[in-house]
Amino acid sequence: MSNIAFIGLGNMGGPMAVNLIKKGHDVVGFDLSEEALKILVSEGGQVAESAVAAAKDADVVISMLPSGKHVADLYSEEFINSLKPNTLLIDSSTIDAVTARTVAELAVSRGCRMIDAPVSGGTAGAKAGTLTFIVGGKQDDYEKARPILKCMGQNIFHAGESGAGQVAKICNNMLLAIHMIGTSEAINLGVKHGLNPQILSEIMQKSSGKNWSLDVYNPYPGVMENAPASRNYSGGFAVDLMTKDLGLAAEAGLETKTSTPLGNTALNLYRMWSESGNGKTDFSSIIQFLNRDL
């Protein structure tokens, strides 16, 4: 069993840390939110007063932070210099590949190991321990991390070298945004024509429109009891985080002169929805942008 420092105990990091505790690891957490720290303690974890204090004796550091800026700030020279030699650093935040590679290079230059390991599967997957991890980094670091990642996830992929996990993750999230918007459009159209959203969703789930948003994350309130749509779009994956990921995809498209017209449209829709005061709501609330009656 390992001593694990967990930095960022929000909607995703909180339940991920709890799954590590359940599998017998010693977890010391740090978050800026007192509430998040209280929850970790109630689940059998320990907390520290700073990221450095949480990580100084750790064998493994896991971070689950909002954006690349937070990740770059955490993995500062001061932080990395305070770690034990050979500490394995796992950043599971969704960030740009350039920042992921930059912090990994710094970590390696100071005698640590580092992988990017963003996740897919949402807050339900984080709670159930069924996340998909998409790893970028060296083969032996991937293998060292696998048993730890297995405590929090079901599918563990090695996408390639440092940063490759982040590239694969933003491709996935661009597709997720597109099919969430498409699913919202389709349900909305059917409902406006008098169809029952539940029955229409079941029909499309068994037809060629089937996709993840329909299967586990239906955006129409009341269709799926456990989906954020049925709790007023609270919890889940925030509109602002999806907007960030679509921005990362757009930047990645520019870098390589790749056309991503639907990704760019999705970015604009999510940006407008965020700017109208909905940044903190779950990303499936985009259906309300298309149907103001909801």
Q: Where on the chain is the footprint of ligand NAD (CB under 6 A)?
A: 7-13, 30-33, 36, 51, 64-66, 70, 74, 93-94, 119, 122-123, 236-237, 241, 245
Question: Would you say 25 or 70 has its CB closer to ligand NAD?
Answer: 70
Question: Would you say 96 or 190 has its CB closer to ligand NAD?
Answer: 96
Active site residue 38: no
Phi and psi angles of residue 267, each rounded to the nearest 5 degrees, phi first = -60, -45
Q: One of 169, 192, 210, 257 is an active-site residue; which one?
A: 169
CB of 236 to ligand NAD, least distance (A): 6
CB of 244 to ligand NAD, least distance (A): 6
CB of 7 to ligand NAD, least distance (A): 5
DSSP secondary structure letters along 148-193: HHHTTEEEEEEEESTTHHHHHHHHHHHHHHHHHHHHHHHHHHHHHT
Question: Would you say 202 or 215 has its CB closer to ligand NAD?
Answer: 215
Question: Would you say 200 or 229 has its CB closer to ligand NAD?
Answer: 229
Residue sitting closest to ligand NAD (CB): 10
| Residues classed as catalytic | 169
